[in-house]
Amino acid sequence: MGIEKIKELIKILKEKDNFLVATHINYDPDALSSLIATGIILKNLNKNFSLYLDEELKEEYSWVPLKEKIIKEINGDYENFILVDCESYRRISEKIQKVFNDKFKIFIDHHQTNKLEGDFNLVADAISTTEIIFYLAKELKIQSAELATLLLLGIMGDSSNLTVELSQEKLIKIFEMVTDLIKLGGDLNLVNQTLLLKPFAEFKKLAEIFNQVNQEDGIFWVVIEGREVQSGALANNLNKIREAKVIIVIEDFENYLRIHFRSKGNIDVAELAQRYFNGGGHKNASGGRLEMNLEEGVAYILKIVKDYLKENAF
Please report, as ranges, the residues that interact with Mn ion according to CB under 5 A: 30, 85, 129, 158
Nearest distance from residue 37's CB to Mn ion, in Å? Answer: 12
H helix and E strand count, the chain: 11, 12
Is 125 in contact with 8 (CB distance < 8 Å)? no
Q: Round to the nearest angstrom and report the end-to-end CA distance of the chain.
A: 31
CA nearest neighbour of 52 among 92, 10, 12, 16 = 92
Q: To the nearest whole angstrom, how small is the minimum distance from the Cβ of residue 85 to Mn ion?
A: 4
Least distance to Mn ion, CB of residue 27, Å: 10
CA-closest candidate to residue 31, choices 87, 115, 104, 90: 87
Q: Which is nearer to Mn ion, 223 or 285 (CB)?
A: 285
Strand partners, 263: 246
Closest residue to Mn ion using C-beta atoms: 30
**Cβ 59 to Mn ion shortest distance, Å:** 21
Q: How far is the CB of 170 from Mn ion (least distance, A)?
A: 15
Nearest to 158 by CA among 309, 50, 24: 24
d(CA 172, CA 158): 16
Cα distances (Å, whole numbers) of residue 283 to 39, 189, 267, 268: 29, 28, 7, 5
In order, the DSSP letters of 185-207 are T--HHHHHHHHH---HHHHHHHH
Measured from the CB atom, is 30 or 146 closer to Mn ion?
A: 30
Alpha-carbon gap, residue 208 to 216, rounded angstroms: 20
With respect to Mn ion, which residue has the nearer C-beta, 146 or 158? 158
The CB-of-35 to Mn ion minimum distance in angstroms stands at 11
Smallest gap from Cβ 270 to Mn ion, in A, equals: 13
Smaller CB distance to Mn ion: residue 158 or 305? 158
Overall residue count recorded for the chain in this entry: 314
Compute the least distance from the CB of residue 229 to Mn ion, in Å: 20
What are the φ/ψ torsions at residue 161 (nearest 5 degrees)? 50, 50
Pairing of the two strands 285-290 and 257-263? antiparallel
